[in-house]
Amino acid sequence: MAPDFDRTTALFLDLDGTLLEIAATPETVVVPPSLPALLEHLRALLGGALAIVSGRSIVTIDQLLKPFKSAAAGEHGVGLRFNDGTTEEMPAGLAVPDAWRDSLKELTERWPGILVEPKQHGFAVHYRLAPERHDDVWKAVRALVPDDHPLFRLIPAREAVEIGPRATSKGVAVERLMADSPFRGRRPIFVGDDFTDEAGMSAARRFGGEGLRVADEFKGDPALVRGWLAGNAERLSGGPLPERLPAGASA
Ligand SMILES: [Mg+2]
């Protein structure tokens, strides 16, 4: 089981597959009603040093976890929000070629079940509903974004592939946030379930912290991640959490 943390920790938490169960489509994900309150409680205990680090945009992260808001990295680090609310976008102004948009639209028309999720600086192509299209999808996106493309790269995800800026990663996002208050000087713990989280975990280790894989530490179960967070929050608060915090989350 994952180790306990204390008030000098900085938490970096992936969202889908880590705090939330994976759903058939990104839109149908279910947020446990107790989760926003739990995160807010933890954020207060850690002096603000809690960040959501996701492939989703920060706008979507906020919508899902409403009314909770924290430091965040969206689209694998393309968008950053620091604890004081200031935001940063990197690399500024990098636009995806229009031809890619058209080409991906064509894929969704040709292959039912393929979903293209537009992002600020890229796309996610989901094939969860048509897993037999795995090879076709990869072939199609490789044709758009070759390995040596100077600005964009392909990012494998769970039953999806993303086209995103080469210059960013969850690791770069952790580094940027760790350079700023209240993260600076803390021991980071990054929790994630996916390939793109590995960069965030490596960054956390470079800062003397650790990376926890949901598959290894939590049996692949987001409910156990929430239970671990709730257990630590209770211990650090020196008593049970307020009642609106998670009966359901304490797995
Ligand atoms: Mg994930």
Domain boundaries, given as residue ranges, for the chain: 9-90+168-237, 98-165
Q: What is the pLDDT of residues 66-94, one digit of tens each?
A: 999 999 999 999 999 999 999 998 777 77
Residue 198 Cα, ligand 1 centroid: separation in angstroms?
A: 11
> How far does the centroid of ligand 1 lie from the alpha carbon of residue 18, in Å?
6
pLDDT value of position 241: 72
Query: Hey, do 9-90+168-237 and 98-165 end up sharing a CATH topology, with the first three levels equal?
Result: no
Distance 238 CA to ligand 1 centre (A): 31
Is the pLDDT confidence value at 247 over 80?
A: no
Per-state percent for the chain, helix, strand, coil, to nearest 5: 35, 20, 45
132-157 pLDDT, tens digit per residue, is 999 999 999 999 999 999 899 998 88
Give the CATH architecture of domain 9-90+168-237: 3-Layer(aba) Sandwich (3.40)
Query: pTM of the full predicted structure?
Result: 0.86
How many whole angstroms from 197 Cα to the centroid of ligand 1? 7
pLDDT of 26:
85
DSSP string, 56-102: S-HHHHHHHHTT---EEEEGGGTEEE-TTS-EEESSTT----HHHHH
Closest CA to 218 of 230, 210, 226: 226
The predicted structure's pLDDT at residue 244: 58
Measured distance CA(129)–CA(133) in Å, rounded = 9
14 is catalytic: yes
Percent of the chain with pLDDT over 70: 96
Confidence of residue 231 (pLDDT cuts 50, 70, 90): very high
State the catalytic residue, choosing from 14, 62, 193, 194: 14
Closest Cα partner for 27 from 19, 16, 18? 16
Alpha carbon distance 204, 191 (integer Å): 10
CATH of span 98-165: 3.30.70.1020
